[in-house]
């Protein structure tokens, strides 16, 4: 701690939601907005398919490989762990990260397969805690209607319904639930306000926690 304001840290802002909930578009818009406000900000996403672990995950999601449910769970978690040090460095150097999916996806998607939820949470302990989690709330049926799902493994209505049920049990104080059925602009307006407040709170010295 050197007491300098210039050392203020960036914020970890996480987006969560079902597939086709609109997260990716909203993340992109929020990134442009915050950059336009002069903020140091980067967009990340998990799974990060660019790493060796990420390529195994990508192949699994494309149904090109099969893996035991617990093995793939641990790979998704490892994919977050392999980026942890870089994440911490970026945040400590004042860069805000907007992250499309994080540990909550890890727990909700694996629990939807029937794995014990506490078992699912365990490997996530020690990752950096988000300052703000934005959950884009869209009914599974509505998400499915949005131009339809792709062909990836989890993009099926019955599975997404179970994911939604598990997400509901994961809400904590860092969560803001946004109605993802509002217009693109109305959602974005709320996100800008939430993100701006979050960034200010972190700049004022809110500690980074794991």
Q: For ligand DGP, give the closer residue by CB, 111 or 202.
A: 111
Exposure string of 169-178, with b = 16+ CB inside 10 Å and e = fewer, is ebeeebbeeb
Options 12-20, 71-79, 162-170, 185-193: segment touching Na ion (CB under 5 A): 12-20
> Residues 6 or more apart from 34 whose CB is under 8 A from it?
41, 96, 98, 195, 199
Comparing C-alpha atoms, which of 168, 66, 82 is closest to residue 117? Answer: 168
Residues contributing to the site for ligand DGP (CB under 6 A): 19, 46-47, 61, 73, 76, 100-101, 105-106, 109-110, 152, 154
Q: Is 208 within 8 Å of 88 (Cβ atoms)? A: yes
Q: Is 55 within 8 Å of 49 (Cβ atoms)? A: yes
**With CB cut-offs between 5 and 8 Å by kind, which of Na ion, ligand DGP, none does residue 54 bind?**
none
Contact between 101 and Na ion by CB under 5 A: the answer reads yes
Query: Around Cβ 167, how many Cβ atoms within 10 Å?
Result: 23
Contact between 16 and Na ion by CB under 5 A: the answer reads no
**Between residue 37 and residue 66, which ones bind Na ion under the rule CB under 5 A?**
45-46
In the complex, the smallest distance separating the C-beta of residue 7 from ligand DGP, rounded to whole angstroms, is 32
**With CB cut-offs between 5 and 8 Å by kind, which of ligand DGP, Na ion, none does residue 61 bind?**
ligand DGP
Q: Which residues bind Na ion (CB under 5 A)?
A: 19, 45-46, 101
């Amino acid at each position: 701690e050197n007491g300098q304001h210039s050392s203020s840290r960036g914020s970890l802002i996480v987006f969560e939601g079902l597939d086709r909930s609109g997260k990716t578009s909203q993340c992109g818009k929020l990134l442009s907005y915050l950059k336009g406000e002069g903020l140091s900000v980067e967009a990340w996403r998990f799974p990060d398919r660019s790493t060796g672990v990420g390529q195994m995950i990508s192949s699994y999601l494309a149904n090109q490989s099969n893996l035991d449910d617990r093995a793939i769970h641990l790979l998704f978690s490892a994919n977050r762990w392999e980026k942890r040090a870089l994440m911490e460095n970026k945040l400590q150097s004042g860069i805000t990260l907007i992250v499309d999916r994080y540990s909550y996806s890890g727990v909700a998607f694996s629990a939807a397969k029937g794995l014990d939820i506490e078992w699912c949470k365990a490997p996530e302990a020690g990752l950096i805690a988000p300052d703000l989690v934005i959950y884009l709330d869209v009914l599974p049926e509505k998400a499915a209607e949005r131009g339809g799902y792709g062909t990836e493994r989890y993009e099926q209505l019955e599975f997404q319904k179970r994911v939604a049920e598990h997400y509901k049990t994961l809400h904590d104080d860092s969560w803001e639930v946004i109605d993802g059925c509002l217009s693109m602009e109305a959602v974005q307006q709320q996100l800008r306000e939430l993100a701006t407040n979050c960034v200010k709170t972190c700049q004022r010295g809110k500690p980074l926690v794991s």
